[in-house]
Amino acid sequence: MLCKARSLEALKKFTTTLKFQSPRFIHYVQGQEPEPRIREYFYYIDHQGMLFLDDSKMKNFTSCFKEKKFLEFFFKRIRTNNTGRYQEEFPFLSLCGRERNFIRCDDVPIVFTHIIKRDAKDVLTYGYVGEALAFDFVPNKIYMLPDSGRVYHPADDKYGGVGLIRSKLSIELSKNFTFGNGESNPPTNFLWNKKSYELDQLWFHNKVKEHNLKIRDITEH
């Protein structure tokens, strides 16, 4: 299976036994076996959508996973963590055969990185694998949190229903916002392909509530 076909560099990391202690004092060992023939690994997705081993000391472009087949396989299998293990600290999970890959995020697991054309439609890509992982772009569903400046767009419900738009892309999109209620409130309109869209102000909070998501600037205040 693809989860076994990682690059040599990644394999070296995975076969190293490491203990890690989170701010909540949760211990784990990469590759631990909580029961026979079940292995557990722990990952982190940053606000740019890059994937790392959770206990990597340096998290930057040089240390993130780049193998496209592995990334596509991993991201397609992300689900809410309902295993009863590490649910608070690692709220998402990517299953690969008998491997449980627990995931924590800077914000949410899906980070949209680019807008491209696919079959004459605008789509948002994620996972750094090009159009292999994409979600239809819906202009009136863009939502910005004024406190953080972060911009969100719907994602598949299996991912929690909310995707973050990468900061570089969100800066470009924000140039087309109109703040009809003042800049201390979310934008009211969005100009896309010469058409002005009235923005849906409800979907974001509905999805956060439905999936019990921990969006930083909502849940920590």
pLDDT digits 0-9 by tens, 92-107: 999 999 999 999 999 9
Query: Is residue 200 domain-shared with residue 128, that is, in the same domain?
Result: yes
CB 124 within 8 A of CB 102: no
At residue 3, the pLDDT reads: 64
Task: Tell me what percent of the residues of the chain surpass a pLDDT of 90.
Answer: 80
169 half-sphere exposure, CB direction, 13 A CA radius:
21
Query: Is residue 90 domain-shared with residue 147, that is, in the same domain?
Result: no
Last residue of a domain, one of 105, 127, 161: 105
pTM here?
A: 0.87
SS3 (DSSP) at 14: helix
Q: How many whole angstroms separate alpha carbon 198 and alpha carbon 17?
A: 52
Last residue of a domain, one of 81, 105, 129: 105
CB 69 within 8 A of CB 132: no
Query: Is residue 98 domain-shared with residue 115, that is, in the same domain?
Result: no
Query: Is residue 85 domain-shared with residue 130, that is, in the same domain?
Result: no
DSSP for 132-185?
GSEEE--GGG-EE-TTT--EEEE--GGGTSEEEEPHHHHHHHHTTEE-TT-TTS
- 126-154 per-position pLDDT tens digit: 999 999 999 999 999 999 998 899 999 99
Bridge partners of 43?
A: 53, 103
Task: Quote the number of domains for the chain.
Answer: 2
Domain region containing 123: 111-219
Query: Is residue 99 domain-shared with residue 125, that is, in the same domain?
Result: no
